[in-house]
Amino acid sequence: MIFSLRQSVALAAVACAGFGMASMAEAKTFKWSNSGDVSSMDPYARQETFLLTFTQNIYDPLIRRDKNLKLEPALATKWGQTDPTTWFFDIRPNVKFHDGSPLTADDVVFSLNRANGPGSNLQSNFVSVKEIKKDGDMRVVVTTKYPDPLLADKWAAITIMSKAWAEKNNAVNSADMTKNEENFATRNAMGTGPFMLKERKAGERTVLVNNPNWWDKPEHNLTEVIFTPVANPATRIAALKAGDIDMTYEVPPADTESLKKDASIKVMEGPETRVVYLGMDQERPELLESNVKGKNPFKDKKVREAIHRSIDVEAIKRTVMRGQSYPTNLMVAPGINGYMKDLDKRPALLKPDEAKKMLADAGYPNGFEVGMDCPNDRYVNDEKICQAVVAMLAKIGVKVNLKAQTRNLYFAKILRKNDLSPGETSFYMLGWSPAQTYDVHNVFEALIQTPNKTTKKGQFNAGGYSNPELDKLADAMEQETDKAKRDDEIAKATKLYVDDFAYIPLHQQALVWASRKNIDLVQPADNSFPLRFVNVK
Amino acid sequence: MIAFILRRMLQSIAVLVAVGLVAFSLFRYVGDPINAMVGQDTSMEDRAALREKLGLNDSPPVQFLRFISNAARGNFGLSYRTSEPVSRMIFERIPATLELAFCAAIFVLFVGVPMGVYTGLYPKHWSSRLLQTVSLLGVSLPPFLLGILLILVFAVMLHWLPSFGRGETVQIGWWTTNFLTLSGLKALILPSITLGLFQLTLIMRLVRSEMLEVMRTDYIKFARARGLSNRAINFGHALKNTLVPVITVMGLQLGTLIAFAIVTETVFAWPGVGQLFLQSVQFSDIPVMAAYLLLIALLFVVINLVVDLLYFVVDPRLRSQGGAAKVAGH
């Protein structure tokens, strides 16, 4: 009797376990949507966060970023420098591509060369590289022209593709735009990542399925992922409410409140690493668009200070951004290496009289007039922010004539020309995230160093701010491998541009994501969306 | 007849070249495609090299000639945005647009014409007045608003229909169709109504006024006197005589349905050529925009030709005039 009871309990337990397993194996389809499609399945087609991070669901990099953007081993189990100009990467053993073929050093060397080859848009990650070669089947050795402490950080964006597959399908290089021929890798994929590409209909839908043979232990429970681009934000929100999709990002600020009230929806907000800032032309002897002739008011630090301290970023946050911004006084955001928390304090706002007096001291008792350029489809509420700035500066007697236009016209106008001569702007808005390295040096190099044709620094320093002392520090930190020394250089350089009022940092915009209540996911600050952390309950 | 068609075809080519020229002179104002193609860190040097490689530094006439000569050979190049062949991108999306326009046209025809006939026959009846009032709403609601309203009611509140997309499609050769799956058919309903409602109102009012006119004519009175059934009079005689203007308008509207599906496609994330065009505008994707505009121009030219030919079928007077014109050597 007792025996049979035990037996039946055991049976029940087995049955339960079986049942449990059956429900675990149940198909978990995750449907999500964004405003635009991934432009290609080729992971080297664009240096663009969305493309790079979407393809990372299919292709693994050597080193990947975790939830907090810190580096962790992926296809490389170990990496480091044997001397200042030599790096090694040890390849993870027993990793298989989606077609079952094993990963070797050949694939890694091939992929790195493809990413640095014709048609690729990732070549800027390889500027310091002299040679990439394999050392045995499971190790890759890279020599650089000069010490490059950020090589591993840059390469966290470079994923690994199957060499045999690319060769078989005539996709050894990325698509060449000047030829009218299709590149196989534009629509197909062969990586080692957590998901496999099942269906790709550009502009319509992209379907991924779980890779059961992934080398890492999955933290997700998805069997299938369907991505659909939906351009109209109202439709995206309606689809989420109707349950036709499980998650969307780029939620319009106006919809956030109504979504928070919906019991079946979860809203996640967090700061994005991109900093939106204003820049001033400090290069030309006379501004292009101003009533001040014969001199450039922005060359005067007092003028820059008066303007900086008259722009109320908290008011912009309250009114224009509906609370969805994180005001800052630095050109890099928390989470980026080199962010200095103790320097991130905005100086006190000036009363209009005080600011006017400061302008009068600088020689502009009646203020002045200046043109301002602003995009109207690039950053969250970009045009409205500029309008707010116009109103704030009107109070101190600076009359700003705003010209807001679509990004493709806007960037062509304000960015520096091919020969690095200044673009056509006096006062402008830009946003920047060091998405390549997650390190402050990228910001110094691109935005703050003196524009220089031979060293190629300061390419995006549209206002032409120049400080030789800062240039020296930035050059030093580029090759400094000693962390303490480097941090010191960063601190000094940061203080220089802050004290100079070189730029007017405004804020980090908020990333607003929304999902159904039964979805668990991770929202990294770099605007990537790793599917490997998604769970459907 | 054949001379007529040939003449029209020659005109068509001129129209297409003109459209291409206008399009190309406009593209200079959509902005720099390079900026949309590269990442923020791409150096000025690389940008310049890419611009040179794509021939964007050539003067607009040179670019235009290159485009036309390639296009004549059916080669539209690669999209700046996706680096896929433009011709294939368009071919892949055209079934979605055509099926949507077709369904909208069916909706217009099979709802709009009977409504027009009804309101024309019983202009004073209360239900006609109601239909008239409701149809005013159709004219005054912009499609993006109507689309969102329909989504809110039928997808978000009632959960009857999908909120966006094409649903499941079936591939037949290179054509993908919605008509063979339940989810595909369901997905067609809301966009078709959104796209068709404006035209429906237009057709209904047109048929109504034409019917009112025809019903007053003598031959209808004679037909009644001969004791023909109401049905034969209303549909056999009256409706048929209203058809010439209706066909003209309907034909042109079909072109409009396809060309202006842009808004509806965007609201419903319908993967058709209209949505493709809009995405391309955002990225200054010139090859796709140029190909799309030529395609739409071609479409209007073909539709106009077909409409002209249909007149011959419907209106016997034109046939005899055409004959007379030929004799006169026009």
Q: How does DSSP assign B162-215, residue by residue? A: -SSS--S-EEETTEEESTTSHHHHHHHHHHHHHHHHHHHHHHHHHHHHHHHHHH
Q: Which two tokens stand for residue A145?
A: 């022209």
**How far is the CA of A458 from the CAs of A299, A449, A461, A462, A464, in angstroms?**
18, 5, 5, 8, 8
Query: Do A259 and A514 form a contact (C-beta atoms < 8 A)?
Result: yes
Q: How many beta-carbon pairs under 8 angstroms link A with B?
A: 172
Nearest CA in chain A to B89: A202
Q: Which two tokens stand for residue A484?
A: 């303490």
Q: Which two tokens stand for residue A475?
A: 């050059």
Residues A306, A350: Cα–Cα separation, whole Å = 8
* Domains defined for chain A, CATH in brackets: 12-246+518-536 (3.40.190.10), 272-510 (3.10.105.10)
Q: How does DSSP assign A43-54, residue by residue? A: TTS---HHHHHH
Report pLDDT digits (tens) over B13-48: 888 888 888 887 777 777 778 877 777 667 777 788
Residue A29: its H or E element: strand A29-34
**How far is the CA of A345 from the CAs of A301, A441, A489, in angstroms?**
18, 20, 19
Report pLDDT digits (tens) over B92-128: 899 999 999 999 999 988 998 888 888 888 888 888 8
Q: How does DSSP assign A91-144, residue by residue? A: EPTT-B-TTSPBP-HHHHHHHHHHHTSTT-S-GGGGTTEEEEEESSSSEEEEEE
**Whether A242 and B156 lie within 8 Å, measured CB to CB:** yes
- Amino acid identity of residue A286, one-letter, is E
Nearest CA in chain A to B84: A182
* Domains defined for chain B, CATH in brackets: 2-72 (no CATH), 90-329 (1.10.3720.10)
Residue B88: its H or E element: helix B86-107
Q: How does DSSP assign A184-228, residue by residue? A: GGGT-----SSEEEEEEETTTEEEEEE-TT-SSPP----SEEEEE
- Amino acid identity of residue A408, one-letter, is N
**Whether B82 and A39 lie within 8 Å, measured CB to CB:** yes
Of the partner residues A232, A241, A409, the one whose CB lies closest to the CB of residue B266: A232
Query: Do A527 and A513 form a contact (C-beta atoms < 8 A)?
Result: no
User: What is the pLDDT, as a whole number, of residue A10?
Assistant: 45
Alpha carbons within 13 A on the beta-carbon side of B240: 12
Give how far A138 is from chain B: nearest CA, Å: 32
* Closest C-alpha among A336, A275, A347, A361 to residue A309: A347
Residues of chain A neighbouring B77 (CB-CB closer than 8 A): 180
Q: Which residue has the tokens 């204003």?
A: A278
Residues of chain B neighbouring A248 (CB-CB closer than 8 A): none
Residues of chain A neighbouring B155 (CB-CB closer than 8 A): 238-239, 242, 244
Residues A5, A17: Cα–Cα separation, whole Å = 18
* Closest C-alpha among A265, A226, A273 to residue A49: A273
Q: Which residue has the tokens 């995206």?
A: A236
* Closest C-alpha among A201, A186, A200, A217 to residue A209: A200
- Identify from B28, B78, B99, B146 which residue to disrupt to test chain A contact, counting A C-beta atoms within 10 A and taking the largest count: B78
Give how far A131 is from chain B: nearest CA, Å: 21
Q: Report helix, strand or coil for A253.
A: helix
Tell how strand A368-375 and strand A29-34 pair up: unpaired
Average pLDDT, chain B: 83
Residue A147: CB partners within 8 Å, gap ≥ 6?
A84, A85, A479, A480, A481
**Whether B32 and A175 lie within 8 Å, measured CB to CB:** no
**How far is the CA of A97 from the CAs of A59, A161, A165, B30, in angstroms?**
9, 8, 10, 42
Q: Which residue has the tokens 């739409």?
A: B296
**Cα–Cα–Cα angle for A75, A138, A63, rounded to 5 degrees:** 20
Residues A504, A500: Cα–Cα separation, whole Å = 10
Residues of chain A neighbouring B57 (CB-CB closer than 8 A): none
Report pLDDT digits (tens) over B159-195: 899 988 888 888 888 888 888 888 889 999 999 999 9
Residue A3 burial class via C-beta count within 10 angstroms: exposed 0-12, middle 13-18, buried 19 and up:
exposed
Q: At residue B55, does pLDDT exceed 50?
A: yes
Residue A276: its H or E element: strand A265-280
* Closest C-alpha among A57, A514, A34 to residue A228: A34
Residues A363, A353: Cα–Cα separation, whole Å = 15
Of the partner residues B37, B47, B269, the one whose CB lies closest to the CB of residue A235: B269
Residue A71: its H or E element: strand A71-73
Phi, psi of A234 (to 5 degrees): -65, -40
**B270: phi > 0 → left, psi -120 to 50 → alpha, else beta; which?**
beta
Query: Do A43 and A61 form a contact (C-beta atoms < 8 A)?
Result: no
Residue A370: its H or E element: strand A368-375
Indicate if the alpha-carbon torsion angle A94, A98, A104, A108 is positive or negative. Answer: negative
Report pLDDT digits (tens) over B210-260: 888 888 888 888 888 888 888 888 877 788 778 778 877 887 788 888 887
Residues of chain A neighbouring B284 (CB-CB closer than 8 A): 408
Of the partner residues B32, B46, B268, the one whose CB lies closest to the CB of residue A408: B32
For chain A, list residues with pLDDT below 50: 1-24
Q: How far, rounded to the nearest angstrom, does the alpha carbon of residue A280 sit from its chain's CA centroid?
A: 24
Q: Report helix, strand or coil for A23.
A: helix
Residues A178, A117: Cα–Cα separation, whole Å = 15
Q: Which two tokens stand for residue A436?
A: 């390549």
**B104: phi > 0 → left, psi -120 to 50 → alpha, else beta; which?**
alpha
Tell how strand A247-249 and strand A29-34 pair up: parallel
**How far is the CA of B199 from the CAs of A287, B137, B139, B140, B193, in angstroms?**
53, 12, 8, 12, 10
Q: How many Cβ atoms from other residues are within 10 Å of residue B33's Cβ?
A: 24
**Whether B267 and A244 lie within 8 Å, measured CB to CB:** no
Q: Report helix, strand or coil for B121.
A: helix
| Residues within 8 A of B (CB atoms), A 48-77 only | 48
Q: Which two tokens stand for residue B324?
A: 């007379």
Percent of all residues in chain B with a pLDDT value above 70, rounded to a whole number: 95
Which residues partner with A155 through β-bridges? none
User: What is the pLDDT, as a whole number, of residue A177?
Assistant: 67
Q: Which two tokens stand for residue B329?
A: 């050597």
Which residues partner with B78 through β-bridges? B85
**Whether A40 and B83 lie within 8 Å, measured CB to CB:** yes
Q: How many Cβ atoms from other residues are within 10 Å of residue B221's Cβ?
A: 12
Phi, psi of A521 (to 5 degrees): -155, 175
Report how many helices (DSSP H) and strands (DSSP E) chain A contains, helices first.
Answer: 15, 19
Report pLDDT digits (tens) over A234-254: 899 999 999 999 999 878 877
Phi, psi of A334 (to 5 degrees): -55, 145
User: What is the pLDDT, as a whole number, of residue B176?
Assistant: 86
Nearest CA in chain B to A241: B156
Whole-model pTM above 0.80?
A: yes
Query: Do A246 and A515 form a contact (C-beta atoms < 8 A)?
Result: yes
